[in-house]
Structure 1
Amino acid sequence: MQLSVGDDGLARPAWAASDPMLRDYYDREWGMPVRDETGLFERLSLEAFQSGLSWATILRKRPAFREAFAGFEADAVARLDEDDKARLMADAGIVRNRRKIDATIQNARATVALREAEGLPALIWSFQPDVTPLPASHADVPTQSRESIALSKELKRRGFAHVGPTTMFALMEAVGIVDTHLLGSHRRGSSGVWAADGSRVADAGGVSG
């Protein structure tokens, strides 16, 4: 799967080339750095809900997810109880999977607990590798990495659920910890974290809580 040049003359991967919603997500959001707790908790949660489904399904439901889960504010989600779980299971706007709903609430509580240590943003970004892939085609993009395996293990140790290595690699792609934009894509190297040649940008900035 190679790049597709749109009617605007910009090269994108096939998955982002036709659906306007996916194209906008690719052009504006995917791979850009996310360093705040709420933003990372939201994306961690949505990647977990995406497991076994298409990302387009999750993206279309994101407004409903945000409403159902209090804007992914960890404190609010951590307070959800059995009545809230029943409400969520009845909400057709989201993915009604009890295991994933339970994991989201558990992960909110783990996120709150992390504030006593380094915090979720610092923990996740500490697994940024020294180099990022240089994929020429979709087949060259890995589905997990040494760092995503290590991040998965560490999050599980801290009380998180539904954070497998493949899900964590997808998270790392989505929030700029790695850059898997295909070589030649108009978005390659656009994050300010990675140069187009796969090297780290030295002054990419730290992590805010």
Structure 2
Amino acid sequence: MSRADRLFQLHAALRDGALHTAGDLARRLGVAQRTIYRDMAALAASGVPVTGTRGTGYRLAPMVALPPLLLTQAEAEALSLGILIVAETTDPELHAAATALAAKLDAALPEDAPAPAWLTAHRAGASAARGFSHIPVLRGAIRSRQKLRLDLDEETLVVRPLGLENWSRLWVLTAWSETSAGFIRLRIDLIRGATALPELFVDEPGKRLADAPP
């Protein structure tokens, strides 16, 4: 029996809502108990709501099935923002639920490019909610082609905001920095203040979003 067939049969066995021990499942499928342990971990990692541990048994947690959804980019961004806000709660159950939902969303959404190594390295320590209040200012400046002053922890930058992206549940601003005369990609949770300046800008070769390095 292939692993895919085995996982399918395990999922089907658990759908009755009863508690099943690893020994019972192993005998049912004709495999060793350690195989059941690995398969249960694989089911849980794929998003199947398996509860239980070795020695106690396994069952499926109650779940809500949603039909396939087609989301616009703005809707996906709004959903991601909502998840991040809930993830900041001190309620452990809500925090765990938001974290699990974020993982499912990450797995389902297409990614044009993998998150860069520096973003992944900072993900665990970043406060996802910090900087959300700046999003209206950033998006408005991008649409109106208006320069921004960005206050960071140790410096202040004047930039031409070009694009706002969601990378693995963190929001990143791509801009041309007039302060450093180069492109920057900046996590918005690192921004302490964002102020729209009265000066507008126009696209110039070498300073456009299309010119930014990948």
TM-score (norm 2): 0.27
Higher relative contact order (CA 8 A, sep 6+): 1
TM-score (norm 1): 0.27
Larger radius of gyration: 2
Task: Name the structure with the higher helix share.
Answer: 1
Task: Name the structure with the higher strand share.
Answer: 2
